[in-house]
Structure 1
Amino acid sequence: MEKSDILKLVGKRIKELRIQKGISQADLVGRMSGEIDPTNISRIEAGRTNPTIFTLYRIAEALDVKLVSLIDIEPSNN
């Protein structure tokens, strides 16, 4: 699996969880501890940027889910 594929899958998972919880991107940023550029959430969800593990941790906290739930993806069998 390519790096870009992984980033897209993680971003898609974050977006799915956020929508399930009825949270907008702006609300997610507001719930996160520390400073984050609101457009960064959009880039993460689109798979256009590689978030740090700490950023993923803060997103998980803001969504009230375990960190592993953001990155629980199946590897391809290439």
Structure 2
Amino acid sequence: MKKLSLAVLLSLSAVASGAYAQSDQGVTMSTDPAKIADIESRAQNLQTQQDNMQNMHTQSSSHKSMHHKKAPKPAAGSTQ
């Protein structure tokens, strides 16, 4: 029981320290047109990559569904 409590305590402290380390950057605002253009360009590239990945997943799913499935075998004792 003590080992479990120690593991939980360590896990919680690791999560808390990670959250604290991330909070000091915060959200910044910039009026620099070059920075704004760079960020918008990165966002557009990410969106394009996500769309491409989603399209590839959709195409692979539809391709798999086009395969013919084997007909089920008739049950034993049934006549056709």
Superposition TM-score, scaled by structure 1 size: 0.24
Higher relative contact order (CA 8 A, sep 6+): 1
Superposition TM-score, scaled by structure 2 size: 0.23
